[in-house]
Structure 1
Amino acid sequence: MLKPQASSTRDLVNLDGTWRFALVKDDLEKEAPWTGALPGSLEAPVPASYNDVFIDPAIHNHVGWVSYQRRVIVPRNWTSDRYFVRVSAATHEGRVYVNDKLVAEHIGGYTPFDAEVTSLVKPGQEFRLTITVNNELTNTTIPPGLLEVQADGQKKQKYFHDFYNYSGLARSVWLYSVPAASSVEDVTVIPDVQGSTGIINYDVQVAGDKSADVHVTVLDEDDKVVGEAKGAKGEVKIDNAKLWQPGAAYLYQFRAEIRDSAGAVQDSYSVATGIRTVEVKGTQFLINGKPFYFTGFGRHEDTAVRGKGHDSAYMVHDFQLMDWIGANSFRTSHYPYAEEVMEFADRQGIVVIDETPAVGLNLGIASGFFSTKKMATWSPEYCNEQTREAHANSIRELVARDKNHACVVLWSISNEPSSNEDGAREYFAPLVKVARDADPAKRPICFINVMFAKFDLCLISDMFDVLCLNRYYGWYEHTGDLVAAEAAFEAEMLGWAKKYPDKPMMMTEYGADTLSGLRSWNAGPWSEEFQIAYYDMCHRVHDKIPAIIGEQVWNFADFQTSANHIFRVDGNKKGIFTRDRKPKAIAAVLKKRWDKINVDQDYPGSKK
């Protein structure tokens, strides 16, 4: 799905700001908030999660639907256009109403959806736009959860992921136009390299007049034309191409134009694309044919007040911090991030592992950490065929949205599923095929392995290209005993390397909760001294295992979690930075290590 953009043939109206806001306290269809002005005087910012904006606990803890509403005017010059409302994300289910009419609905909280309104509102007319958003998670949603209705009729939500279930319109809402006669509906670009020649294989999908001519132009960063082609499908060759490199991004503009018989441009759409190759070869991960070692983070879209609301200032500052500390990569744990983040990573040369929202598919963790009744994960009562279909759809939507990003080098289809339980292989085998079929560029795929599913227990690791491991030796296992933790950690890593001698291994999570400012002469758990000792231990193990191709610590910054878990005090404190982005003592230690790693691997953009 193409992100809306303004061009010589398209217009784009941003609908962000404060919208009228109300809880749906009863049944959505019964209340029908789209049929008139919302009751009350509340206004909510868009983009933002609504939970922490207001001080009313009833809003913060609300389970169910909420309503956003505003007035919108269709620009009067859109007489020859089709026009759409675009919702960048509605967590976790959204419906769009134009005046009294439902025009779109979508399940999945982190990917966009559109609603065409051309036939409902004329150019120059005003309409009432209502978007309802539901935060409920069930066993057939991704991420999953369990919903309980209490005796008083109130709903109680259980979810099994360890970050707060922020909800609402956390990303931008747009009104945009495309030419009615013929328009670019989708673009796929697949880069390749042959010697010094860059190759862009492309496929342009056209809406409307299918017989219209498609012309393709590729421009370099100086706006110089470096390649051209005709036809909706083909390739463009670029002599002496400049490659997209980690830390040294170079982006070409791929411009697709639809022209009529007289050569006039009917529609134009541009995609920023980097020319680079990605390959897994033995125990190496290759970018442009050179081994790459990941340094960086698992992260969250999480800030005070805004929740998961996209914020450009935080985005730029976070990337600055990653650059300072020597991070060359991150994972979009545990859901697709805002499209603006992906575009910025493209421009900054940051490598991304792109992940679906499939987190919480593990009732072993739930029963152990959250004190719930032991249940089978892969069962009709929890993760069943309907869950898998929702999961498959989340994979397709992620790849469809992010397929053209040069920064994306690896797809992660799930975080910490119960891959050691009976039924895991039957659940995941079809999803592996979905992921491989969805990406025209055939990037490698992975899932993120949980600490309970060690090499002798995991039932699905053989189906994936990279072994991505989350391990907390010294924190959740052998807590505080780093000597025992180091021995156990090394033994397990050697076990993986022996069982899968031709697969690269990556540490996608490792960390220890740390209270900023807590100092301890004996490096006790939760202290800044313990966090340093913990990471030193982990890195000694990493450096002994040749198959390890990267380390992404957990987490970039402290983040909010559910208040129902007694072992979390105002959130997860495993951040290298505090929630307001102040460095803990470990930051300088990581910077020293990662700067050296980046120089040693000598890729363009590494710090000399």
Structure 2
Amino acid sequence: MLKPRATATRDLVSLDGLWRFAISTAVGERPWTRTLDTPLEAAVPASYNDQFTDSAIRDHVGRVWYQRTVRVPRGWAGERVILRVGAATHEGRVYVDDVLVAEHIGGYTPFEADITEQVGAGGEFRLTIGVNNELTHTTVPPGRITVTQDGRRTQTHHHDFFNYAGLARSVQLYSVPSVHIEDITVVTGLDATTGTVAYEVETSAAAAVRVRVLDAAGAEVAAADGASGTVRIDDVTPWRPGAAYLYDLVAEIVDGDTVLDTYTQLFGVRTVEVRGTRFLINGEPFYFTGFGKHEDTPVRGKGHDDAYLVHDFQLMRWTGANSFRTTHYPYAEEVLELADRQGIVVIDETAAVGINLAVVGGLGGRPHPPTYSPDTCNDDTRAAHAQAIRELVARDKNHPSVVMWCIANEPSTHEEGAREYFEPLVELTRKLDPTRPVSHTASLLTTFKNDLIADLFDVLCLNRYYGWYIATGDLATAETYMEADLRGWCEKYTKPILITEYGADTLPGLHSVWDQPWTEEYQAAYLEANHRAFDRCAAVVGEQVWNFADFQTSNGIHRVDGNRKGVFTRDRRPKAAAHTLKARWSSLNGRKPSSSG
């Protein structure tokens, strides 16, 4: 799916701003058929939960309604008019006046509607979007709705972040010619100093297509006719971590000398490969340093914010980080675009977090419902999961920063039914994109002894909390546990190991001369103990700390104003651990520490 852009043949109008807003219980039946009777307005893009002081809105389970009037530019006569919603968490319905024009399930990927037949150039229409935040055992992520004794509906789920909802990404109106480019796929390769660029351009109807490749200075370096083919770039400048270089693929639909439609797709020439226990970018070993993150800021919730985006990237650069994982859902497209331009490496993850009822039993192994069954995660869940993978790959396939797909976070992969659930999803991901490795992250409950699916994946991604949830406050024991765990995986599989989560909750300003959990000193010492264990295992290809910044979670007595594992506070002030990471990562520069054994 192409991100809307203004080009010589396309126009783009932002619909961001303040919209009329109401929860479903306040507006009665069929609210899209009239002007919303509400005194409330909500900002778009932003989650709605924290914008208001009414807890009934913040904790609402069900549908909410956004509405505004939109005028189609008068110069769009004869053009197709497309409405695009960047994301509606977790399900969206779009109405143009009284007509339902789009429905979409999945809270973090975009969807569109061609509304040409419902609107006219220069005309005005009423745009209403209903957004439902409900999670069930057949959604991704899964969840469960219960009703309290006083009749309130409550949402439970097994992911440890607040269930922010609403229109967290931009809403846009754009025009395209009647015959237009619908999609572009770019796959690159390297042959010594020559880059290969395989391309495919999909059009709305049969049409003549030509493509041109421009370098960063705008000079043409390759060209071809036809909707698909391969071009070569001599003396290519590859896209490298920390040294991004982007080319333009200019695709045009032509009729003789007339350009009917044009769209420019940025891309970088780079390769990704897993070879034995090494992760290679452009044939060179790469060592990941960075974070799991969240789209989470005060007031905005999961709403995209360009200022926070810029500042977060600056802070990652400051620490020496070269990568992050989009925990635990696809991030806004602007995030990946900046990663492309900045040379930051991205592990791109679906919203499949919480497919793990074993967490109900906890680390103590208490009885719990089966994760995979007709009444829990079932064929319908897997179908929703498959669709999430399709939409993720379709949206993000052309980003050079994306080097690996992560199709789930901490699923229960030691339970009966795990292989039957995941094997088709891995096959689907490889079919959609055979050029990138595929992974998932293993929780503490999954070990090299009980795991049932690790052989399906290219990289072993481990989330480990020795020294926090296990051996709390005993870092000597924690370090021993971590090294033994890593060596167990190494002996069983010849695959790269990436530590995708390790961290300790920390209250800024809490200090101690002892190894006392929750203090800033303990967080720093915890990280150093883990690093020593990582460095003694040659198969480890990277470390991504949980978490970049503190973030909001649902109610729980084990959380004090959210999850405090950030090395930065929620408002991006560094804890002592940020300086610990800066000292280590700035010296690594994407290379494995030399002390590996």
Determine whether 1:192 maps to 2:189: yes
- SS of the residue aligned with 2:75? coil
Determine whether 1:402 maps to 2:396: yes
Cα distance in 2 between the residues matched to 1:103 and 1:155: 29
Using the TM superposition, give the Cα deviation of residue 532 of structure 1 relative to its aligned residue in structure 2, in angstroms. 1.1
Determine whether 1:222 maps to 2:213: no
Using the TM superposition, give the Cα deviation of residue 156 of structure 1 relative to its aligned residue in structure 2, in angstroms. 1.1
What does 1:332-411 align with in structure 2 at a 5 Å threshold? 332-368=326-362, 374-411=368-405
Question: Which one of 495, 518, 525 corresponds to residue 510 of structure 2?
Answer: 518
Paired position in structure 2 for 1:605: none
Check the 8 A contact 2:252/2:260 in 1, yes or no: yes
Cα distance in 2 between the residues matched to 1:31 and 1:442: 48
Cα distance in 1 between the residues matched to 2:360 and 2:3: 37
Cα distance in 2 between the residues matched to 1:369 and 1:541: 22
Cα distance in 2 between the residues matched to 1:110 and 1:350: 21
When the two chains are superposed, the root-mean-square deviation of aligned CA atoms in Å is 1.5
- SS of the residue aligned with 1:25? helix
Determine whether 1:421 maps to 2:418: no
- Going from structure 1 to structure 2, the CA distance change for 1:599 and 1:203 (only over 3 Å counts) comes to closer
Check the 8 A contact 2:278/2:539 in 1, yes or no: yes
Using the TM superposition, give the Cα deviation of residue 20 of structure 1 relative to its aligned residue in structure 2, in angstroms. 0.3
Paired position in structure 2 for 1:105: 103
Q: Structure 1 counterpart of 2:461, which letter?
A: C
Paired position in structure 2 for 1:204: 201
- SS of the residue aligned with 1:240? coil
Q: Structure 2 counterpart of 1:573, which letter?
A: R
Check the 8 A contact 2:325/2:349 in 1, yes or no: yes
State the Cα deviation string for residues 385-432 of structure 1 (Å, max 9, x = none).
000000000000000000000000000000000001111011101111
Paired position in structure 2 for 1:237: 232
Using the TM superposition, give the Cα deviation of residue 154 of structure 1 relative to its aligned residue in structure 2, in angstroms. 2.4
> May I ask how many residue pairs the two structures share in their alignment?
593
Paired position in structure 2 for 1:140: 138
Paired position in structure 2 for 1:576: 567
Cα distance in 2 between the residues matched to 1:367 and 1:456: 19
- SS of the residue aligned with 1:432? helix
What does 1:124-203 align with in structure 2 at a 5 Å threshold? 124-180=122-178, 182-203=179-200
- SS of the residue aligned with 1:31? coil
Paired position in structure 1 for 2:587: 596
Q: Structure 1 counterpart of 2:326, which letter?
A: T
Determine whether 1:314 maps to 2:308: yes
Cα distance in 2 between the residues matched to 1:162 and 1:373: 21
Cα distance in 1 between the residues matched to 2:148 and 2:124: 42
Check the 8 A contact 2:287/2:591 in 1, yes or no: no
- Going from structure 1 to structure 2, the CA distance change for 1:169 and 1:599 (only over 3 Å counts) comes to closer
Using the TM superposition, give the Cα deviation of residue 442 of structure 1 relative to its aligned residue in structure 2, in angstroms. 2.2
Q: Structure 1 counterpart of 2:337, which letter?
A: E
Question: Which one of 246, 252, 256 corresponds to residue 251 of structure 1?
Answer: 246
Cα distance in 2 between the residues matched to 1:506 and 1:544: 14
Paired position in structure 1 for 2:473: 480
Cα distance in 2 between the residues matched to 1:413 and 1:200: 26
Using the TM superposition, give the Cα deviation of residue 462 of structure 1 relative to its aligned residue in structure 2, in angstroms. 0.4
Paired position in structure 1 for 2:528: 536
Paired position in structure 2 for 1:271: 265
Cα distance in 2 between the residues matched to 1:541 and 1:499: 18
Paired position in structure 2 for 1:504: 496
Runs of 4+ in 1 over 4 A off after TM superposition: 369-373, 599-602
Question: Which one of 537, 543, 559 corresponds to residue 545 of structure 1?
Answer: 537
State the Cα deviation string for residues 132-168 of structure 1 (Å, max 9, x = none).
0000000000000001134544211101100000000
Q: Structure 2 counterpart of 1:184, which letter?
A: I
- SS of the residue aligned with 1:396? helix
Cα distance in 2 between the residues matched to 1:314 and 1:495: 40
State the Cα deviation string for residues 85-141 of structure 1 (Å, max 9, x = none).
100000000000000010000000000000111001111110000000000000000
Q: Structure 2 counterpart of 1:336, which letter?
A: P
Determine whether 1:117 maps to 2:108: no
Check the 8 A contact 2:285/2:591 in 1, yes or no: no
Cα distance in 2 between the residues matched to 1:599 and 1:466: 17
- Going from structure 1 to structure 2, the CA distance change for 1:285 and 1:237 (only over 3 Å counts) comes to same
Paired position in structure 2 for 1:463: 456
- 5+ residue gaps, structure 2: none
- 5+ residue gaps, structure 1: 603-608
Question: Which one of 565, 572, 585 corresponds to residue 576 of structure 2?
Answer: 585
Say which is worse superposed, 322-331 or 31-40, in terms of deviation: 31-40
State the Cα deviation string for residues 12-60 of structure 1 (Å, max 9, x = none).
000000000000018x9x6111010111210000000000010000000
Paired position in structure 2 for 1:2: 2
State the Cα deviation string for residues 563-608 of structure 1 (Å, max 9, x = none).
2x11001000000100000000111111110011117569xxxxxx
- SS of the residue aligned with 2:18? strand
Cα distance in 1 between the residues matched to 2:83 and 2:364: 40
- Going from structure 1 to structure 2, the CA distance change for 1:598 and 1:453 (only over 3 Å counts) comes to same
Cα distance in 2 between the residues matched to 1:371 and 1:96: 44
Cα distance in 1 between the residues matched to 2:367 and 2:499: 30
Cα distance in 2 between the residues matched to 1:61 and 1:599: 43
- Going from structure 1 to structure 2, the CA distance change for 1:162 and 1:369 (only over 3 Å counts) comes to farther
